[in-house]
Structure 1
């Protein structure tokens, strides 16, 4: 087994690390886009009655559609309908962001609605604009409450990213399966890949938890 590990894993470590970098890049961009889309959908649902049901429809569609279907839909249908995305990388980012944005929108909504109304009214009473109240009072507390859900959603995005290989994005899973199909030795390669995903998710979770704890101490607040 050690000889197989050296032959199939260590000999292809550069390829696997390159695939890991693609995975991290896709997930990072997708999660940032998901936060923007999710927060936008949440705010429209809460504060723009005219198009509230459009936001609700968007949220439910993103949550109820399998990521596999979204990947194929964005990659093959969107270019015909909208003229973009023009690359599989962009399609993967958008598809991952769409699904996560639906869940994040609901997470944002529960955090905002759970905030005591008196805090908003107090901010307005001392002369703050609503935008300032939202940025300095509402969002810090909402982010603190939803921190565990955010960390969990990051892990979900990384796990879901294993499917982007179906549209030929050269991520870690794509490169691993290419090596497996070349040598027909899955044990060492897939075991190593599983450990790589575990390490990435574990490190991100640890780092995120550290920043949450730092945020708590800085503001003298506690997460729910």
Structure 2
């Protein structure tokens, strides 16, 4: 118990600071991934002129290792675009890019899985194509893809451990600092792993419950 108290409990403020950064990185990354993935999906499906560009971006984001994207965004983008200007921003942007590629395909499958009759019924009621998309297609797509969205959240959380490589002071970075200070990794890394497991379990449980409640209220069944 002595080592646990000295290395984990007495260092809890450091680990909590790192956890807060991890949650911020993952939150920004997931929000940007959902928006980016939805935009790429809609461009691919409904903008023929830009479809090759959307497909190329999706395949690039999906086919590039997250570590490569992280280094690319952190070191190449500032030279080319002058942005991002911080390691924190580079971290969540890199995570968002890869997830956007996967979510674009998830959304595409969800949209294509909606019965054509739903859109035809909306058209017969006088809805425009944009109204049909916003009121009929997208709500059903988001509800149908909730399991994939939750899974992507867990992927982002686990991948976020790599942002420590570019000195973002996340949970993994802070735990490594403690290990490097005391050279006793067992307790620190075990506690870090437990925190990640608890975080993923809590988010998955909350997401599934929220999705179930929304489906029940809207009368939606998979």
What range is the shorter-chain TM-score in?
A: over 0.9
2:54 corresponds in structure 1 to 55
1:160 corresponds in structure 2 to 159
2:113 corresponds in structure 1 to 114
Determine the C-alpha separation between the residues in 2 that align with 1:184 and 1:102.
39
Equivalent position SS for 1:128: coil
1:7 aligns with 2:2: no
Determine the C-alpha separation between the residues in 1 that align with 2:178 and 2:148.
35
2:186 corresponds in structure 1 to 187
Give 1:125 shift: 1.1
Deviation per residue, 1:96-153 (Å, 9 max, x gap): 0000000000000000011111111110110112222112111111112111100000
2:99 corresponds in structure 1 to 100
**What is the root-mean-square deviation of aligned Cα atoms in Å?**
0.7
1:126 corresponds in structure 2 to 125
Determine the C-alpha separation between the residues in 2 that align with 1:43 and 1:213.
26
1:71 corresponds in structure 2 to 70
Give unmatched runs, 5+ long, in structure 1.
none
Number of aligned residue pairs:
222
Give 1:5 shift: 0.3
Give unmatched runs, 5+ long, in structure 2.
none
1:88 corresponds in structure 2 to 87
Determine the C-alpha separation between the residues in 2 that align with 1:21 and 1:129.
44
Give 1:83 shift: 0.3
